[in-house]
Chains A and B, each alone.
Chain A
Amino acid sequence: MRKGLTAFNYISLILGFSFLYIPIILLIIFSFNESRLVTVWAGFSTKWYGALARNQSILDAAVVTLKVALMSSTLAVVLGTMAGFSLSRFRRFKGRTLFSAMIFAPLVMPDVIIGLSLLLMFVAMGIDRGIVTITLAHATFSMCYVAVIIQSRLSSFDRSIEEAAMDLGCPPLKTFFLITLPVIMPAVVSGWLLSFTLSLDDLVIASFTTGPGATTLPMRIYSQVRLGVTPQINAVSTILIGIVAVGVLIASILNRRQEMQRMRNERMAADNA
């Protein structure tokens, strides 16, 4: 079989990755620009980061965003794990079709529709809007992503281990916590991380479901961006990109280590057999 890439393959990769990364790289570079004009380079400076540290409205928005992201992703993981487990383990129950449709629909539904419908419900129920309502909204769409991740992980999981535990007298709940949960833990963690970033990222649903006093970071950035490009927004963006990059790096290192551990265990098991 032919090895290696053709010139066409290389060009596709280089152009493709340039397209993906150049905007982000320019954004980062110009966050260190001395000039107020974002597009003209006038020397290295970290003054926009200093301005950011004194910008109370941005800091407040960051705190709101973190609170919402932490609470909603935790809620989403609990609900999503239950949903994913139910879908993959209980083949038949009343309303299963509706349940799986409700899990799937928020993944493809436009944000404006989800946001509008939740807001109209909160208004109809007379619920005051703020951090709590954003958290409920975020937990709802994030749990669907978690459910899909958990379900696909469970479908490749050897059920006989669970059955063996139960045959030996382990009650179902204990079986879940002692056997199933540790095995699907990587999926639970990546589900949590995905929910967390989805929540950090969301502008549209948060704008609909928020109330006075609860402005998230994307909402704050959005209202400033509409007024024009400012170096302070470049600085916020750079910090956010940095946090995500470090997070993804740690997650992939952990993942790799676990994978290697598993391979070692399998080799040992094979040697002993």
Chain B
Amino acid sequence: MPDTAGDTPNAPRARRGVLRALIERHGRKGAIAVPYLWLVVFFLVPFLIVAKISLSEVRIAIPPYGPLLDVVNGAVVGIRANFNNYTALVGDALYWKSYLSSLEIASLSTLLTLLVGYPIAYAMARAPRNRRAVLLMMVILPFWSSFLIRVYAWIGILKDEGYLNHLLLGLGIIHQPLNILHTYSAVYIGIVYSYLPFMVLPLYANLEKMDWSLLEAAADLGCAPLKAFWKITVPLSMPGIVAGCFLVFIPAVGEFVIPDLLGGSSTLMIGKTLWVEFFNNRNWPLASAVAIVLLLFLVGPILLFQRLQARHAERNG
């Protein structure tokens, strides 16, 4: 390769050599350290800051919270950390009602998603092998399109003058438009719709591997189909059921967009309460405390889910 650099042709090449040697020598450390540090800076540290701010006082200032320590000439003269924000959460009915209703909505909609998703996953798993890829694609496709748009689509359907009421009035099934939008029913519909793929995919992955000859054996021995389903299919698909339920329940607890757009002002969910506290009331310390308590509610299910996943991966890997 002709070198146009002139009298020191080896210098850039040598430098590149040093760089390469450095990467070769420390490549392993670098591959770990770069993403590790990134997550510490952009994931772990932010949580510590939230925890810190949840202990401080709200102030009318920029930023709207007070310092934890009083520092005069570099010496700490007083600690201002307090649990007022946490006691406020317990004292004000709005907050614990939000937590309870979030847990209730998330649990019930997880159950509904399971009831809607199981027959779909089951039928997909029983479909001929060459059709399964297409069916799988059809479940994933809506999941790739925007979540916000899919929630928005339901406003047009559920409104008082929406498509559903048009249809039902036109067919003469009802004579008064149903009031669904801005009620809890709309929130349930929205969550079941948006999270359905999270339920169907793990269930399908599980049912697809099932040995169907077990059902035939049960039938040969005189077991009724429904009983065989309860005694064989359901227990064998338990890992899929558990994974699907976690994948729906955990994000549903903190959901903000669905209760806000479909539930209207009357629905209480903790994600929405946090948002309002932060943006409308500008009470950052209280919003931080809401987030920390929400996280504490979720730590149990998240750890349990991770352990189940790890055990599952071990068994399969």
Contact = CB atoms under 8 A, between A and B. Distances in A.
B163 A245 contact: no
B305 A143 contact: no
A169 interface: no
Interface of B: 20, 23-24, 27-28, 30-32, 34-36, 38-40, 42-47, 49-50, 53, 63, 116-117, 119-120, 122-124, 126-128, 135, 137-142, 144-150, 152-157, 159, 161-163, 166, 193, 196, 200, 212-213, 216, 246-247, 250-251, 253-257, 260-261, 271, 274-275, 278, 284, 287-288, 291, 294-295, 298, 302, 305-306, 317
Given A137-B42, A218-B148, A1 B162 contact: no
Contact of A237 (B36, B149, B213, B288): B149
A121 B45 contact: yes
A168 interface: no
Contact of A120 (B53, B141, B153): B53
A151 to B, nearest CB: 10
B156 A39 contact: yes
A233 B122 contact: no
A56 interface: no
B288 A20 contact: no
B279 to A, nearest CB: 8
B148 A201 contact: yes
A21 B153 CA distance: 11
B23 A173 contact: yes
Interface string A143-182: 1000100000001000000000000000111001000000
A118 interface: yes
Contacts of B142: 20-21, 24
Contacts of B255: 110
Given A80-B35, A233-B152, A248 B144 contact: yes
B147 to A, nearest CB: 6
B39 A99 contact: yes
Given A16-B116, A39-B156, A225-B261, A111 B254 contact: yes
A112 B256 contact: yes
B275 A110 contact: no
Interface in A37-65: 38-39
A5 B298 CA distance: 40
Contact of A13 (B123, B196, B275): B123
Contacts of B46: 117-118, 120-121
Which 5 A/B pairs are nearest by Cβ-Cβ distance?
A110-B254, A117-B46, A12-B119, A83-B35, A16-B120
Contact of B146 (A23, A39, A204, A218): A218
Contacts of B152: 27, 221, 225, 229, 233, 237
A190 B193 CA distance: 24
A17 B138 contact: yes
Nearest to A110: B254
25 contacts: A1-B216, A9-B123, A9-B126, A12-B122, A21-B142, A23-B157, A39-B162, A83-B39, A90-B31, A102-B39, A102-B40, A106-B43, A108-B298, A108-B305, A110-B251, A110-B298, A112-B254, A112-B256, A121-B49, A143-B39, A147-B35, A203-B257, A221-B148, A226-B261, A247-B144
Interface in A183-226: 197, 200-201, 203-204, 218, 221-222, 225-226
A240 B152 CA distance: 13
Interface residues of A, number: 82
A53 to B, nearest CB: 19
Interface string A229-253: 1000100010011001101100010
A173 to B, nearest CB: 5
Contacts of A26: 153, 156-157, 163
Nearest to B161: A39
Contacts of B260: 226
Contacts of B31: 82, 85-86, 90
Given A27-B153, A155-B317, A244-B144, 4 more contacts: A13-B135, A39-B159, A140-B42, A176-B27
B264 to A, nearest CB: 11
Contacts of B213: 1
B63 A112 contact: no
A241 B141 CA distance: 10
Nearest to B273: A112
